[in-house]
Chains A and B, each alone.
Chain A
Amino acid sequence: MLDKFGIAKRIAKELQDGYYVNLGIGIPTLVANYVPQGIEVILQSENGLLGIGPFPFEEDVDADLINAGKQTVTIAKGSSFFDSAMSFGMIRSGRVDLTVLGAMEVADNGDIANWKIPGKMVKGMGGAMDLVASAKNIIVAMQHVNKSGESKLLSKCSLPITGLGCVKKVVTELGVFDITSVGFKCIEYATGVSLDYIKEKTLGRLVVADDVKEMSID
């Protein structure tokens, strides 16, 4: 079974040289730490930065320079700043190659819910609805079950929808799942996790790929 760092490491393997990537808040942000050697990706932050660098040294912290998670960051070489309309312009017009975000629920047809629990929690969608409506490739990074132990991989989302039929892949602590016309297709399982256990923890339609294999993250 993976921890959150393992999930981030596995998603980092999806990165390709030259990709423009938008990483959401939480586990997705960690993906930046595991960009494979020899690959250059440019990270987009929807608050108006293309080319996010590492966190600053303490003396270099700049209140005017943050990422979309409101964390202080630095700029990578060759970066650029822009306003929020242009930022979503590059997202809507399909320039961002990969979007990684978290979710509360994902359905086996690629629907995603991640912005609201009616009557309990209202945080808002931020940029998530724009991203999922336009991005070419969307990977969800999340825990397989919620705090009550219930599956977050469902046949239909029970929470308010963020976007329809948009998720392409889900990576959880248990495995990697492609969204296909026949539901979640398990293509990899985490070390020490059985396919039976994955089936037990998945409420949506689940098929196992013929060539399913153990996940390698290092």
Chain B
Amino acid sequence: MLKKVVKNAEEAIVDITDGATIMLGGFGLCGIPENSIKALVNKGVKNLTCISNNAGVDDFGIGLMLKTRQVKKMIASYVGENAEFERQLLSGELEVELIPQGTLATRCMAAGYGIPAIYTPAGVGTEVAEGKETREFDGKTYLMEHAFKSDFAIVKAWKGDTNGNLIFRATSRNFNPLMAMAGKITIVEVEELVQPGDLDPDMIHTPGIYVNRIFKGVHYEKRIEQVTVTKR
């Protein structure tokens, strides 16, 4: 019998220790593993390397872990919404590697597909290319970018079954299925945890083989960065 279901976030992250490399799914605050982030803050693990598209905002998401100085290094593509992040970066307290968003996504994908590296045109001729191997294909230059190696991947799905099969919802999918494939240990929090057979196999985005631990998250705040509406 598969034993993937854990009680809660605390149990899911029990073996994450100081110095770990962790991937965290989400785009902005959309589709972030809220429960697991809070548990990491409460646990107080330090010197983390975090791989995530963004760094949250000052008081939510990964921003919570920045405030408590738990992050040693951040690998991200866009960090414009977080003033504390920018302050720590400019003062040199926080190590930061900014990489193109497509490169970030594809390096996750490569890890999950068992491919050691990929070639991409993104960043050629820029700071991003410094020290990296390049190669020409059909007259165009590409950078070699390595698959990520990450101790843990922590993602948020909409629905999951106890076998670890996952379905994501709308644009909260983003990096989540890619990171789910890319961690040595993959931890998933879901809004709805169901039994095997309850999900249509044709609708599964992430097959359970990639998932090590799964739990039902609680009290989702789902904060929105920019509420934009059409007036009636």
Quick one: which of A61, A119, A124 contacts B229, CB cutoff 8 A?
A61
Q: A47-B27, A64-B171 are in contact. Are A70 and B223 (CB under 8 A)?
A: no
Q: Does A72 contact B (CB under 8 A)?
A: yes
Q: Does A203 contact B (CB under 8 A)?
A: no
Per the 8 Å Cβ criterion, residues 118-163 of B in contact with A are 120-128, 158
Q: In the assembled complex, how far is the CB of residue A214 from the closest CB belonging to chain B, in whole angstroms?
A: 34
B100 to chain A: which residues have CB within 8 Å? 125-130
A126 CA to B103 CA, complexed, in Å? 10
Q: A47-B171, A84-B178, A161-B125 are in contact. Are A92 and B120 (CB under 8 A)?
A: yes
Interface size on A, residues (CB 8 A): 54
A162 to chain B: which residues have CB within 8 Å? 126
Q: A48-B174, A87-B105, A130-B103 are in contact. Are A161 and B126 (CB under 8 A)?
A: yes
A72 to chain B: which residues have CB within 8 Å? 224, 226-229
Q: In the assembled complex, how far is the CB of residue A209 from the closest CB belonging to chain B, in whole angstroms?
A: 29
Per the 8 Å Cβ criterion, residues 175-209 of B in contact with A are 175-178, 205
Which of A8-16, A51-59, A138-146 contacts the other chain? A51-59
Quick one: which of B28, B81, B178, B228 contacts A83, CB cutoff 8 A?
B178
Asked if B230 and A164 make an inter-chain contact with CB atoms under 8 angstroms apart, the answer reads no
Quick one: which of B80, B86, B224 contacts A66, CB cutoff 8 A?
B224
Q: A85-B178, A88-B101, A91-B102 are in contact. Are A65 and B171 (CB under 8 A)?
A: yes
Q: Looking across the interface, which residue of chain B has its beta carbon closest to that of A91?
A: B102
Q: In the assembled complex, how far is the CB of residue A106 from the closest CB belonging to chain B, in whole angstroms?
A: 15
Q: Does A216 contact B (CB under 8 A)?
A: no
A64 CA to B174 CA, complexed, in Å? 10
A122 CA to B76 CA, complexed, in Å? 12
Q: A65-B170, A66-B30, A122-B89 are in contact. Are A88 and B128 (CB under 8 A)?
A: no
Asked if A122 and B31 make an inter-chain contact with CB atoms under 8 angstroms apart, the answer reads no
Q: A70-B28, A160-B127 are in contact. Are A130 and B101 (CB under 8 A)?
A: yes
Asked if B174 and A57 make an inter-chain contact with CB atoms under 8 angstroms apart, the answer reads no
A169 CA to B116 CA, complexed, in Å? 38
Q: Does B169 contact A (CB under 8 A)?
A: yes
Quick one: which of A71, A84, A87, A119 contacts B228, CB cutoff 8 A?
A71
Per the 8 Å Cβ criterion, residues 19-67 of A in contact with B are 45-49, 54-58, 61-67
Q: A70-B30, A71-B228 are in contact. Are A81 and B171 (CB under 8 A)?
A: yes
Q: A48-B173, A82-B173 are in contact. Are A56 and B230 (CB under 8 A)?
A: yes
B53 to chain A: which residues have CB within 8 Å? 84
Q: In the assembled complex, how far is the CB of residue A23 from the closest CB belonging to chain B, in whole angstroms?
A: 14
A206 to chain B: which residues have CB within 8 Å? none
A124 CA to B70 CA, complexed, in Å? 21
Which interface residue of A56, A116, A120, A126 has the most chain B CB atoms within 10 A? A126
Q: In the assembled complex, how far is the CB of residue B30 from the closest CB belonging to chain A, in whole angstroms?
A: 5
Q: In the assembled complex, how far is the CB of residue B217 from the closest CB belonging to chain A, in whole angstroms?
A: 14
Interface size on B, residues (CB 8 A): 59
Q: Does A134 contact B (CB under 8 A)?
A: yes
Asked if A164 and B105 make an inter-chain contact with CB atoms under 8 angstroms apart, the answer reads no
A182 CA to B170 CA, complexed, in Å? 46
Q: Does B218 contact A (CB under 8 A)?
A: no
Q: A71-B226, A122-B90 are in contact. Are A83 and B177 (CB under 8 A)?
A: yes
Asked if A126 and B125 make an inter-chain contact with CB atoms under 8 angstroms apart, the answer reads no
Asked if B227 and A123 make an inter-chain contact with CB atoms under 8 angstroms apart, the answer reads no
A123 CA to B173 CA, complexed, in Å? 23
B227 to chain A: which residues have CB within 8 Å? 61, 71-72
Q: A83-B174, A123-B80 are in contact. Are A134 and B224 (CB under 8 A)?
A: no
The residues of B with any CB-CB pair to A shorter than 8 Å are 27-31, 53, 76-81, 86, 89-90, 96, 98-106, 108-109, 120-128, 158, 168-178, 205, 222-230, 232
10 nearest CB pairs, A to B: A88-B102, A130-B102, A123-B80, A63-B222, A84-B105, A126-B78, A133-B121, A129-B100, A124-B78, A70-B225
Q: A47-B171, A71-B225, A124-B80 are in contact. List 11 more A-B contacts (CB 8 A).
A: A47-B27, A55-B228, A57-B232, A64-B222, A66-B28, A75-B170, A83-B105, A125-B78, A127-B101, A129-B102, A130-B100
